[in-house]
Amino acid sequence: MTSLASALYSQPLASAMFAKPLGILMPTTAIIVVVILVVLVAIVLATRKGKPELPSSEDSSARELPPTDKPSPRADIEPTRPVPLAKGGTERPSAEPKPGADADGPDASTQEAPDPAPRPSAEEAAPAAPEDAPADASETPAKPAAPAPVSKPAGGRQQASDDDRAAIKESLKGTRSGFIARLASVFRRKPDIDPALLDEMEEVLITADLGVQTTQKILGALKERLSRNELADGDAVWTALREEGAAILEGVSGGLLLPDASPAVILVVGVNGVGKTTTIGKLAARYADEGKKVLLVAGDTYRAAAVMQLEAWGRRAKCEVAKGKDRADPSAVIFDAIKRGVDEGFDLVICDTAGRLHTKTPLMEEVKKVGRSVEKALGRNADEVLLVLDATTGQNALQQANQFGEALAVSGVALTKLDGTAKGGVVLGIVDQHKIPVRFVGVGERMEDLRVFDAQSFVEALFAKPEPGDEAAEAEVSDAE
């Protein structure tokens, strides 16, 4: 602009021609230049202000995050969904915007805080329990140990009650009226204690179904005592009989010993007609009364009547019954039932099996298969293999114990119908010859008539000397003579 003006002024003609207009033009151009500069400055300032506004917009967006995360207040409105919304929105609002939590945020945070923090609270509660109340710590381990109440004193095995002992003594009246009366007759006819007296006693003991082996064992011990002059009179012989019987039964008192692991599984076996299903029903009632959750398994699939009978006992004992289809594989039925017992938290699973003659090899092989199914389903052998024997069968019960003992690891015997026989001495033979403890004895038809076996009470009742005032015993003695 200045060069143009100087050029114009350098020429006289131009100066003469444009002198007046230039005087007017100069201030106009200056104004234009100023306006252009102002516009440029405004543009520059505008662009500079635009760039810093980007972070401000980000900040505003960051500030707008709390409103976007404000579904958390909706959790307060909808009480059914506070927990899932709190878990999804606790981390961002707590880390990013404290201002957004002014109104709803504090309420949400106070509600959400316990949700993500159960771990520290659990860790704090763990030490607090033993500090405040050690009883709480004892209660927590007691819950998984549900079978503990079944396991009672004397090494954890369930022991006979006073009612059990009284019932056992009462049930042996039939036995006492038989061979005890004959023993008393022998002592009356031969007051002198000599080997001839012991020989006569041998016949009486064998007829009481103690068995030849057990009878010879007892008499051998009596002869040794006689040689040491320890049998001065009849009372000493009665005492010696009780002591030798107690020695045979030593350590076999008590019912079942159930494990801490649940469920405990009891496999019940025996021939037809011994009272197997009835024993299962009474056993279930006993443990159900103790608060156990009991599952009965109808493993005798060959007889529809057996399943119906077990279902009837299940209703009486208030226990569930698992069953399969008619003539289904007993091993499969028992396998599925044990799995159910594990899944549904049963304390005790009692498995019925098909009654079988101990002389039938195929059926005995089947019971072996059942035992393997229990092991496969449970991961261990059955906790108790209970053999049910009929006391009225006498020596035949000894043979059954032998055959079943070869097929399975029989761990205990339930002896039924003890109240209706004079052959109660078979208990001594079973324990002595097969080393199988007696767990229970059946002494009647009532639900509570399955009694925990007590060796001392049994021996005292079995070899009880008749009292002079016992008219029934005196009558039996006179008949024996």
pTM check: above 0.85: no
Residue 122's pLDDT is 35
Instruction: Yes or no: say if 465 and 233 are a contact pair by the CB < 8 Å rule.
Output: no
Residue 265's pLDDT is 96
Residue 180's pLDDT is 78
CA trace torsion 140, 141, 147, 148 (10° rounding): -110
Residue 218's pLDDT is 94
Residue 254's pLDDT is 74
Architecture category of domain 264-453 in CATH: 3-Layer(aba) Sandwich (3.40)
Architecture category of domain 170-250+469-480 in CATH: Up-down Bundle (1.20)
Give the residue from 208, 263, 290, 274 showing the smallest Cα distance to 241: 208
- Look at the block and give the residue holding tokens 């350098």: 10
- Look at the block and give the residue holding tokens 């009692």: 350
CA trace torsion 233, 239, 242, 244 (10° rounding): -80
φ, ψ at 442 (rounded to 5°): -95, 125
Residue 188's pLDDT is 84
Residue 261: Cβ within 10 Å count: 16
Question: How far is it, in rounded angstroms, from Cα 128 to Cα 410?
Answer: 48
Beta bridge partners of residue 267, listed in sequence order: 351, 385
Residue 44's pLDDT is 74
Q: Environment class of residue 152 by beta-carbon count within 10 Å: exposed (0-12), middle (13-18) or buried (19+)?
A: middle
Residue 321's pLDDT is 96
Instruction: Yes or no: say if 377 and 259 are a contact pair by the CB < 8 Å rule.
Output: no
Give the sign of the dihedral formed by CA 242, CA 244, CA 250, CA 253: negative
Residue 49's pLDDT is 56
Q: One digit per residue, pLDDT tens: the chain, 481 residues?
A: 444 444 444 444 444 444 454 455 556 788 888 888 888 888 877 776 554 444 444 444 434 444 444 444 443 434 444 434 333 443 443 344 443 433 333 343 333 333 433 433 333 333 333 333 333 333 333 333 333 333 343 346 778 888 888 888 888 877 766 777 888 888 888 778 888 888 888 888 888 788 889 999 999 999 999 999 998 888 899 999 999 999 999 877 777 878 888 899 999 999 988 999 999 999 999 999 999 999 999 998 888 888 999 999 999 999 999 998 888 899 999 999 999 999 999 999 999 998 866 566 677 788 889 999 999 999 999 999 999 999 888 888 888 998 888 888 999 999 999 887 777 888 999 999 888 999 999 998 889 899 999 999 999 888 888 766 554 444 444 444 4
Question: How far is it, in rounded angstroms, from Cα 350 to Cα 462?
Answer: 31
Using left for φ > 0, alpha for ψ between -120 and 50, and beta otherwise, residue 454 falls in beta
Residue 29's pLDDT is 80
Which H, E and C letters describe the chain, residue by residue? Answer: CHHHHHHHHHCHHHHHHHHHHHHHHHHHHHHHHHHHHHHHHHHHHHHHHHHHHHHHHHHHHHHHHHHHCCHHHHHHHCCCCHHHHHHHHCHHHHHCCCHHHCCCHHHHHHHHCCCCCHHHHHHHHHHHHHHHCHHHHHHHHHCCCCCCCCCCCCCCCCCCCHHHHHHHHHHCHHHHHHHHHHHHHHHHHCCCCCHHHHHHHHHHHHHCCCCHHHHHHHHHHHHHHHHCCCCCCHHHHHHHHHHHHHHHCCCCCCCCCCCCCCCEEEEEECCCCCCHHHHHHHHHHHHHHCCCCEEEECCCCCCHHHHHHHHHHHHHHCCEEECCCCCCCHHHHHHHHHHHHHHCCCCEEEECCCCCCCCCHHHHHHHHHHHHHHHHHHCCCCCEEEEEEEHHHCHHHHHHHHHHHHHCCCCEEEEECHHHCCCCCHHHHHHHHHCCCEEEEECCCCHHHEEECCHHHHHHHHCCCCCCCCHHHHHHHHHHC
Residue 468's pLDDT is 61
Q: Tokens standing for 414?
A: 């339930």
